[in-house]
Each structure stands twice: as C-alpha cells, then as structure tokens.
Amino acid sequence: MNTTNDKYVLRVEGLTVSFDGFKAVNDLSFYVEPNECRVIIGPNGAGKTTVLDLICGRTKATEGSVKFKGQELLEMREDQIVHAGVGRKFQTPSVYEDLTVFENLELSYPKGHGVFGALAFKRDAAVKTRIQEIAETIFLDGQLDEKAAYLSHGQKQWLEIGMLLIQDPELLMLDEPVAGMSVAERKKTAELLNRIIADRSVIVIEHDMGFVEDIATRVTVLHQGKTLSEGSMQRVQNDPKVVEVYLGH
C-alpha cells in the first residue's frame, strides 16, 4: 500500500534532537525499505533508543523529518502513529502485569480504540481466534489465562512482541528484544523474529552480535547521535571506524 510510489517505507532525514544543548541525535538520516530488517548497533549513549522514541512520537524532535509511507510522523500524536502502522516494543518488557496473557493481547487487538468503542467491545470469535493464533506464534498458548506477572522475563518479552504482532504493523521497532534472555530463549526469539519480519519492515536495536548476524538485512552503526557506518553485517564488521569505537573491545 505504498501510495507515494516511494521505494522506502521510512525516510528519516536530518533528524536532530537537542536536550539542553546536548544533541543526542544529530542530523541523522537513514532509509528503510519494505521487508527490510534494519539493526541499529552502537555503544551506550549513541542515541539508539532516542531514535526509536523520535520515530514513535515519545520524544519530540528539534529538527528534521520522519516520513512513514509519505506521512510526516513528527506532526502526529502517538496513538495516531500507531494507527498509521508503526509498532514499538520497549527495552524493558512492558506488559500489564495485573491482567492475563489473553487480556494483554486483547487490549492490543486493533478494534475498539475509542472510549465508547472500548465500552461496546465484544470478545467475539474473530478476536479469540486471532489471540489464539498469536499466542501460538509467541509460544504462550498454554498460558493464556495466567497473569502476566507470573511469566518469566523471556516470556514477557515474547508477550510484548505478540501484543505488537496482533496490531499487524507495517513497521515494527524492537528495542533489545533478547536482552536478559537465556541462550535457549535467544534461539527461539531469533526464530520468532525471522518469521515475523518476513512480511513487514523491522528496526531492531541489539547488542548481541551473534543475534544481529542471524536477523539483519542491513546494519546501521550509531555513534554520538550520527551514523558511523551503514551496510551489510560483513561490511560493517570490517569497517575500521566501527572496530575502533564499538566492536574492538
């Protein structure tokens, strides 16, 4: 559904944000193609999470432009950005601990988002089928009636990914999806992500290089709010600048 005949799903151009004079993101530009899995890496404080915050409207940009399928996201409210088709997963798993897994997924189901829509919302067969489907994808179909508070850390990460999947976003942004996971969970998550990214664009922030190699189409290395290097995993790994500031140690 690319109405503008744009080759890119997301165009970030000249993006800058300044916190009291400190430029956390400084004149950053990058472009994401349909079905691409872009991984952003970089040392701590490089501005990775801030970039995602800017795209999804959590932080207001000082300058620049973020165009998603031709729409300027910087002028939209957070929930409008979500409805445009951008989903965001946070770094720490953000699930509703007092609600069950089923209810967590249900609240993310893309229907009844207005006040009166939510009052009138019915848990019909279509909703249940879809939730069951997503729960199987994220390995949680056995825990639908359990409170999210009782899930393990890794399961909470999966649940949050599931909450995004049920919205079926065209652009999915994941902030450190495997942080704090066991080796087995990591493998399962890589598998999960590979299945998910098949029919959408994804931006992932990750530190785990093995994991990055597994999923990345292209890699952007951020350093001090600017692009240090960009390209295939192999190219980036062999870039001397990247080795110096990030991979070297």
Partner 1 sequence: MKANALFTRSEMIGFAILACVIFLLLPAVLDTFRLNLFGKYLTYSFVAIGLALCWGAGGILSLGQGVFFGLGGYCMAMFLKLEASTPENTAIQSTPGIPDFMDWNQLTALPWWWEPFHSLGFAMFAVVAVPVVFAFIIGVAMFRRRVGGVYFAIITQAFAAILTILIIGQQGFTGGVNGITDLRTLLGWDIRTDEAKETLYYVNGILLFAVLFAAQFVRRSKLGRLLIAMRDQEDRVRFSGYDVASFKIFIFCLGAAFAGIGGAMFTLQVGFMSPTLVGIVPSIEMVIFCAVGGRMSILGAVYGALLVNWAKTTFSESFPELWLLGLGGLFIAVVMAFPNGLAGIWSEKVEPRLLKLIKKSPAQAASPAQQSTPAE
List residues binding partner 1 (CB under 8 A). Answer: 56, 58, 77-79, 82-83, 87-88, 90, 94-99, 103-104, 106-108, 110, 112-115, 118-123, 145, 160, 163, 167
- CB-CB contact of 129 with 109 (8 Å): no
**Residues in CB range of 148: below 8 A, 6 or more apart:** 95, 96, 97, 98, 99, 100, 101, 104, 156, 159
When the beta carbons of 118 and 234 are compared against partner 1, the nearer one is 118
3-state secondary structure of 58: coil
**How open is the CA angle 242-174-53, to the nearest 5 degrees?**
85
Query: Shortest Cβ distance from residue 107 to partner 1 (Å)?
Result: 6
CB-based contact 88:56 (threshold 8 Å):
yes
Q: At closest approach, how far in Å is the CB of 202 from partner 1? A: 16
CB atoms within 10 A of CB 116: 8
16 contact partners, CB below 8 Å, separation of at least 6: 23, 25, 26, 27, 28, 61, 62, 63, 64
Alpha carbons 152 and 214: distance in angstroms, whole number: 24
Of residues 66 and 190, the one with the C-beta less far from partner 1: 66
The residue (of 56 and 236) whose beta carbon lies closer to partner 1 is 56
Nearer to partner 1, 40 or 173 (CB): 173
Q: Give least dist CB 85 to partner 1, A.
A: 10
Minimum distance between the CB of residue 128 and partner 1, rounded to whole angstroms? 9
Give the residue with the Cβ less far from partner 1, 160 or 214: 160
Question: Considering the complex, what minimum distance in angstroms separates the CB of residue 194 from partner 1?
Answer: 24
Q: With respect to partner 1, which residue has the nearer C-beta, 34 or 112?
A: 112
Q: Which is nearer to partner 1, 113 or 235 (CB)?
A: 113
Minimum CB separation of residue 232 from partner 1 in Å reads 30
Compute the distance between CA of residue 145 and CA of residue 66 in angstroms, rounded to an integer: 39
Return phi, psi of residue 218, to 5°.
Answer: -135, 155
Cα 115 from chain centroid?
26
Q: How far is the CB of 235 from partner 1 (least distance, A)?
A: 33
